[in-house]
Amino acid sequence: MIKTAVVILNWNGEAMLRQFLPSVIACSRLEGTEIYVADNASTDASCEVVEKEFPSVRLIRLDKNYGFADGYNYALQKIDAEYVVLLNSDVEVTEGWLQPMVDYLDTHPEAVACQPKIRAYRHRNLFEYAGASGGFIDRYGYPFCRGRVFESVEEDKGQYDEVIPVFWATGAALMIRLDVYRNVGGLDGRFFAHMEEIDLCWRLRSRDYQLVCIPSSTVYHVGGATLKKENPRKTFLNFRNNLLMLYKNLPEEELKPVMRVRTFLDYCAAAVWVLKGDFANAKAVWNARREFFRIRSQFTADRQQNLAHTVLKTIPERYSFSLVWQAKVKGRKTFSALSY
């Protein structure tokens, strides 16, 4: 068994592999580390690029495009490591990025997963949307980060450089103990993409495993390389999967009141898109809710299992406020301005 496996999931990302894989190879020379590319049945020259241009990288060929969640689940079945890093193909890593995370997990057995600080690749002084300096969630399922609240992204001035517990660690650069990943069921493949890492982290936190952000490790993420922001397909997956995540994980006494509020908030979001003339994204919200109710029963067994394994019923990193109220009504656009 190796110490650390860095696993990059790829689908038709030939250009990104050429651009970003060199930094991963050059900066991941920690002893006991191997780099893998798991290919989701790409139709471009991705596999040939890996084999010919990066012979030190191990290639895992999957037989079809399983999406983000099951793509990783199937790939990790073929890996034997203590820690695995789920790393997006559009991430540039920095020298020594692995060491602080490995050291933390080695010395903190209560912690099962962590993430580095994530800055934006194109605006390198800013935090990146997908993870920033650690993720949290509000009462109604809205995720936010140290460094990002809704669309407001902060400049990194070292204000969030403390190692702290988080509710979720981003799937763009997630280090996790492989045995625990398997024990809790891994990513939910039915999500296909979006929200699946937050769902996984909720399961981990409810079982009283700790997750942290290690800001002394820094990477740069392009973001939106597969589906651009406000793409109707992305909107559909985000809204549907967020509702599924809430259904799977909310305590029984919170389920109905939270879902009632979410109905109101979701239709408010759809109305905003209608007012902007963006009918495609408004329709995506409607379709996401309809799909959630259609398939909800398929997740009932998962909900029952999650509740049965819950150890930590009140998770400190799941805040009791409404992020919509804090940010959209009161105008609080930074993490430090939010009232807990």
Stretch 33-42: mean pLDDT: 98
**pLDDT band, very low/low/confident/very high, at 340 (cuts 50, 70, 90):** low
Q: CA 321, CA 140: separation in Å to the nearest integer?
A: 8
So what's the pLDDT on residue 223? 83
Q: What percent of the chain has pLDDT over 70?
A: 98
Residues 310 and 207 sit within 8 Å (Cβ to Cβ):
yes
CATH 1.25.40.80 fits 2-221, yes or no: no
Residue 157 has phi, psi (to 5 degrees) of -115, 20
Long-range contacts, 268-273 (Cβ 8 Å, 24+): 269/239
**pLDDT tens digit sequence for 287-313:** 999 999 999 999 999 999 999 999 998
Of 228 and 261, the one with more pLDDT = 261
Residue 320's CB is within 10 A of a number of other CB atoms, namely 8
Q: What percent of the chain has pLDDT over 90?
A: 96
**pLDDT tens digit sequence for 56-91:** 999 999 999 999 999 999 999 999 999 999 999 999
Q: CA 204, CA 169: separation in Å to the nearest integer?
A: 11
As given in the structure block, the two tokens for residue 157 are: 């001035």
Stretch 204-208: mean pLDDT: 97
Model-wide pTM > 0.75 = yes
Please name the residues in contact with 254: beta carbons below 8 A apart, sequence gap of 6 or more: 139
So what's the pLDDT on residue 339? 75
For residue 333, what is the DSSP state? -
Closest of 63, 7, 67, 64 to residue 33, by C-alpha: 7
As given in the structure block, the two tokens for residue 73 are: 């689940």
Residue 226 has phi, psi (to 5 degrees) of -95, -50
**pLDDT band, very low/low/confident/very high, at 224 (cuts 50, 70, 90):** low
**pLDDT band, very low/low/confident/very high, at 230 (cuts 50, 70, 90):** confident
**pLDDT band, very low/low/confident/very high, at 169 (cuts 50, 70, 90):** very high
Provide the sign of the torsion angle of the four alpha carbons 275, 280, 298, 85, taken in this order. Answer: negative
Torsion angle defined by CA atoms of residues 227, 233, 236 and 239, in that order, rounded to the nearest 10 degrees: 0
For residue 336, what is the DSSP state? G
Residues 109 and 40 sit within 8 Å (Cβ to Cβ):
no
So what's the pLDDT on residue 193? 86
Q: CA 252, CA 304: separation in Å to the nearest integer?
A: 10
Q: Are β-strands 173-177 and 164-165 bridged in parallel, bridged antiparallel, or unpaired?
A: unpaired
Q: CA 337, CA 332: separation in Å to the nearest integer?
A: 6
Residue 339's CB is within 10 A of a number of other CB atoms, namely 9
Torsion angle defined by CA atoms of residues 160, 163, 165 and 166, in that order, rounded to the nearest 10 degrees: 40
If DSSP codes are grouped into helix, strand and coil, which group holds residue 84? strand
So what's the pLDDT on residue 318? 97
Q: CA 165, CA 210: separation in Å to the nearest integer?
A: 7
Residues 65 and 89 sit within 8 Å (Cβ to Cβ):
no
Position 257, amino acid: P
51 pLDDT more than 80: yes
**pLDDT tens digit sequence for 3-30:** 999 999 999 999 999 999 999 999 999 9
With vertex at residue 336, the alpha carbon angle to CA 332 and CA 339, rounded to the nearest 5 degrees, is: 60
So what's the pLDDT on residue 227? 44
326 pLDDT more than 60: yes
Domain boundaries of the chain, sorted by first residue: 2-221, 232-315
Closest of 74, 18, 71, 24 to residue 45, by C-alpha: 18
As given in the structure block, the two tokens for residue 292 are: 């959630």
So what's the pLDDT on residue 229? 57
If DSSP codes are grouped into helix, strand and coil, which group holds residue 69? helix
